[in-house]
Structure 1
Amino acid sequence: MTKRVFISADHGLAIVYFLQSDVLPTLLDAGLEVVLLTDDGLREQISQRFGRPGLTVEGLRFPQARQYFERNDHTLQYWLHFLRWMGGSQRINTNAMDGHLRQMDYESSAKAKRLMPLIRGLTWGLRRSRWMRQGLVRAQMRFTPDLYGDLLDQYQPSLVVASTPGWRLDRYLLRQAGQRGVRTAAAIIGWDNPSSYRLPGARVDYATCWSEIQKRELVLGSDWAPERVHVGGIPTYDGYFRKEWVIPREEYFRMHGLDPQRKLISYACSFVTFSPNFRNMETLARLVSADALAQPSQLLIRLHPNHFMPGSLYEQEAQRVRQMIQSMPHVHLVEPVALGGELGYYSGEDMPEKASMMAHSDVFTTVYSTMVVETAIHDRPIVSVCLDTPGGWNTPGKFSLALTEIAEWPTHQRFREAQAGRVAFDEGQLRAALDAYLRDPQLDGAERRKFVQDEVTYTDGSAGKRTGAALAKLALEA
């Protein structure tokens, strides 16, 4: 009987990781059938675009999963989720989680605030006690609804793979699969995921991650057994290494109305949940428009997916940016393309756009975003711009965290310590960093290349095949 693998693609980046890399072809070439579970509303669209023999697309049943979360001991499920998020071992850097804990303390309701001393006490214990962490993972298993029983019966998978170890609604699929004795695995898709989330939302058997750094975070921070964590690189970036997505410079400049005679400085918005990006963009736009840099330049701004959340502060910021650039001929805007449905703006729909923006930038700027890794792959100079906005969001009830306070977050710390780019905390430092790179694009080149090697492991475009082969082995041996 042909063996089958379930893949949970509950996020736009998961579509790129599994379907726009060598992971899926490697699984199929191993003689496995693949059942992709994704947003119900996109099943037909994904089938048409990625369909091939051996691939079936089914729905992830987001509405039913969300309804179960909201209607079945919602308060208890909510706090279990929060404790998993905050309660990873202190054996690794907890600064990112500490920032989220401060946000929760500030933004929670009056009733929740009364619970926060208890939550902080439990978090303190979880970070110090493996026994408590294991107990928390076991306790959450009582919330295992029968959402996928018919699919598990119909397809009888040998392996269920999710794009997180149950950190999102995929926890219900992983729990039900584990309850039935089906082998489970998690693919770590995000650079900061192992340091920002921590304890699994289900008892997951195996994980595959980018690097030995991430493996250490999983083992020390989340109690994974080392022999159950595979280092396979990051399949999503194989296309970068193979230069599959880069649009020729002349064509790309023409697409955005860019001046081929001016240097290109790009800015990818990041970290908007905690702090505005507007001052960063405004300062860059002013320096470019005033020709205040070492060479005549232009600015291309890429909005963040959160900028498209209806009615949010982030949406308001995006509108301010659109208004600002109307009178600035050397400032241009890129808006990420949505895959649709609940998969959001983190999608592979504009990988050529992203790749080309990085490849053709004379200097790439952001706020410690994952794109510092992606841009280092393209060997372009990088500046992390951390100009604080006085008062942050200046909105009652909305937590703000100064950009100057986030340097010690795990991935941010690694970028700085690798000296793969510069960090600017004020306009003078920003101008100096931009001028240095405009004068010498090879500055810090050796450090960028080592940073890439350390963070993604495989730089030859083989991560998809390596990861697919590891997952195929788990399925075939089950």
Structure 2
Amino acid sequence: MNDNGQKKLLIVITNGFAATNVIHSGLIQHMARLYELHILSDLLGENEIRAINRHFGINVKLFCEQIPAETAILKPLRLIGKAVFFRHFHIVTQTIRESQQAFWLRYSTVAFANVLECLGITRSVLVFLRKVIIARSKRMDIATKIVQQQFDGIISTSPLDIRENIIINSLGAKTPSLAMVISWDNLTTKGMINADHDYVLLWNKYMANEYRTFHQPLCNVPSKIHVTGIPRFDLYFQLDPDQVTERCFREKFGLGSARIILFATSAAKHFPEQADIVEHLVAYAKMRGNVKILVRCHPGDEPENYRLYEQENSVIIPTPQVLTGGTMVPGLRSLLDLSEMLKYADICINVASTMRLDAAACNTPIISIAYDGNKIKPYSHSVRRFYDYTHQMELNKLAIDRFVYSKQALFEALDDTLFNAKQNRINRTEMIQRFTHYTEALSVPTILNTIEEWLR
């Protein structure tokens, strides 16, 4: 605790999406008014911290210590644990991923997991591997400075990252820890959480059930689970469309009175042929007229793939903003910019991404691309497989979006959505409440209350 009576917290940020969850959502602004905050990060330096402080009018400090790297001993232990974890819990996501692997690797993994299953020792092996990883982490001498600072608590914003696990483990029971799981897919795609936390914050009840089923049984000490909603979604629920803001938005991008198609791309490694979808959208715009296409690039996408379409009058590719020139963290207005795009677009097109939820939270019609551009690929390499991942399956049942399996189907879906007023009567925001937990700006206040409870 500092001289002003405020408790001191250390926030570990090693992931750009985690930064958005904690910083861009405004959560950090509210926390900084209640606590003395220090950030330990390999993404943020002094320049970025200064920019954050200026933007929010706060005084967060950078904690200068190097983020530990995963060691040569920990990595194979983690990968073995991850493979056994997926097999033991029969997680569909990994089964689909394995269809892309070389036969010998897939066969070896399955054979090893089956042997453990037949011997009835799978869970024991997982618990053992996890204990070894935690024990090895504790030997790494990285906690000395943290202990010296006498923090009242440490927050892991990406708790499935082994580097953050190492930090938590090296502290042992000296400093209370809280984990914020940053995305709805993490618990079924990343393997084990190789650290024990006092509190774990999750988006919704689906994730809470996944944590209780897959992760809690492996913990040395059970964590307290809190469902808090999605902090960055608070901005979506705060911002109501209005004519003045929409006019400014349209003027900024030169949209005029056109109907707006927002194509929120996916990571390039997931869908290398995404430029084909832009090609198809351009063809549609030429056919229908008075249609504009906003191409918002995923942080893991490559904007240069779309440059050849910039000469088209119908295509606008906003330049991705970063916090400063040398960081991968988005600019501090990026979440507000995305919110405006979603609110004022007539339709959002995505490729099996969380953007399905973002668009629905803004009550914007959604088309989900389920074909591979101008190529025909087998299921094991097709974008179709992403919709069958474990975390997507319950959302699929809500039918908040329209799946398209060809260019022609895309055109038909665009016609139905852009020129059919019935589509606008569907309240998608209410439909996804089971995933967002809230449909009002209540996630940040809930997290603040949970942190207060954790620190008592």
What TM-score results when the alignment is normalised by the length of structure 1? 0.82
Give the aligned partner of residue 57 of structure 1: 62
Structure 1 counterpart of 2:143, which letter?
Answer: G
Decide whether aligned partners of structure 1 residues 240 and 84 sit closer, same or farther in structure 2, where only a CA change above 3 A counts.
Answer: farther
Tell me if 1:425 matches 2:405. Answer: yes
CA distance in 2, matches of 1:359, 1:400: 34
Given that 1:381 and 1:443 are in contact with CA atoms closer than 8 Å, whether structure 2 keeps it comes out as: yes
CA distance in 2, matches of 1:255, 1:461: 27
Superimposed CA distance per residue, residues 310-339 of structure 1 (whole angstroms, 9 cap, x where no aligned partner): xxxxx4xx433111332x211111232223
Could you tell me how far 1:98 is from its partner in structure 2?
Answer: 3.0
Give the aligned partner of residue 270 of structure 1: 266
Could you tell me how far 1:425 is from its partner in structure 2?
Answer: 0.8
Could you tell me how far 1:46 is from its partner in structure 2?
Answer: 1.2
Give the aligned partner of residue 362 of structure 2: 378
CA distance in 2, matches of 1:201, 1:180: 15
Give the aligned partner of residue 77 of structure 1: 74
Give the aligned partner of residue 213 of structure 1: 206
- Alignment map for 1:36-435 (pairs within 5 Å): 36-39=39-42, 42-50=45-53, 55-59=60-64, 61-62=66-67, 65-66=68-69, 69=70, 72=71, 74=72, 76-88=73-85, 94-103=91-100, 105-106=101-102, 117-123=107-113, 125=116, 129-141=122-134, 142-144=136-138, 146=140, 148-177=142-171, 179-223=172-216, 228-243=224-239, 248-258=245-255, 260-276=256-272, 277-291=274-288, 296-307=290-301, 315=302, 318-326=303-311, 328-340=312-324, 344-346=328-330, 348-389=332-373, 401-435=381-415
Could you tell me how far 1:209 is from its partner in structure 2?
Answer: 0.7
- SS for the counterpart of 1:160 is strand
Could you tell me how far 1:393 is from its partner in structure 2?
Answer: 9.7
Decide whether aligned partners of structure 1 residues 147 and 282 sit closer, same or farther in structure 2, where only a CA change above 3 A counts.
Answer: farther
CA distance in 2, matches of 1:158, 1:12: 25
CA distance in 2, matches of 1:227, 1:146: 24
CA distance in 1, matches of 2:185, 2:309: 32
**More displaced, 221-230 or 148-157?**
221-230
- Give aligned pairs, total: 441
Structure 1 counterpart of 2:281, which letter?
Answer: L
**More displaced, 188-197 or 89-98?**
89-98
Given that 1:8 and 1:162 are in contact with CA atoms closer than 8 Å, whether structure 2 keeps it comes out as: yes
Given that 1:93 and 1:195 are in contact with CA atoms closer than 8 Å, whether structure 2 keeps it comes out as: no
Decide whether aligned partners of structure 1 residues 392 and 457 sit closer, same or farther in structure 2, where only a CA change above 3 A counts.
Answer: same
Q: Structure 2: which 5+ runs fail to align?
A: none
Tell me if 1:18 matches 2:22. Answer: yes
CA distance in 1, matches of 2:310, 2:26: 40
Q: Structure 1: which 5+ runs fail to align?
A: 107-112, 308-314
Decide whether aligned partners of structure 1 residues 22 and 248 sit closer, same or farther in structure 2, where only a CA change above 3 A counts.
Answer: closer
Superimposed CA distance per residue, residues 53-73 of structure 1 (whole angstroms, 9 cap, x where no aligned partner): 6732213524xx23xx3xx4x
Selected match of 2:433 from 453, 468, 471? 453
- SS for the counterpart of 2:423 is coil
Decide whether aligned partners of structure 1 residues 463 and 123 sit closer, same or farther in structure 2, where only a CA change above 3 A counts.
Answer: farther
Structure with greater contact order relative to length (CA < 8 Å, sep ≥ 6) = 1
Structure 2 counterpart of 1:281, which letter?
Answer: V
- SS for the counterpart of 2:300 is helix
Structure 2 counterpart of 1:8, which letter?
Answer: V
Given that 1:303 and 1:336 are in contact with CA atoms closer than 8 Å, whether structure 2 keeps it comes out as: yes
Decide whether aligned partners of structure 1 residues 228 and 87 sit closer, same or farther in structure 2, where only a CA change above 3 A counts.
Answer: farther
CA distance in 2, matches of 1:346, 1:250: 25
CA distance in 1, matches of 2:291, 2:59: 50
Given that 1:272 and 1:306 are in contact with CA atoms closer than 8 Å, whether structure 2 keeps it comes out as: yes
Superimposed CA distance per residue, residues 222-278 of structure 1 (whole angstroms, 9 cap, x where no aligned partner): 2368862100111111111111899922222222222x2221011011143233222
What TM-score results when the alignment is normalised by the length of structure 2? 0.85
CA distance in 2, matches of 1:228, 1:451: 28
Structure 2 counterpart of 1:59, which letter?
Answer: C
Decide whether aligned partners of structure 1 residues 121 and 203 sit closer, same or farther in structure 2, where only a CA change above 3 A counts.
Answer: farther
Structure 1 counterpart of 2:165, which letter?
Answer: R
Superimposed CA distance per residue, residues 5-37 of structure 1 (whole angstroms, 9 cap, x where no aligned partner): 21112223323322344533554555x422221
Given that 1:19 and 1:50 are in contact with CA atoms closer than 8 Å, whether structure 2 keeps it comes out as: no
Given that 2:371 and 2:404 are in contact with CA atoms closer than 8 Å, whether structure 1 keeps it comes out as: yes
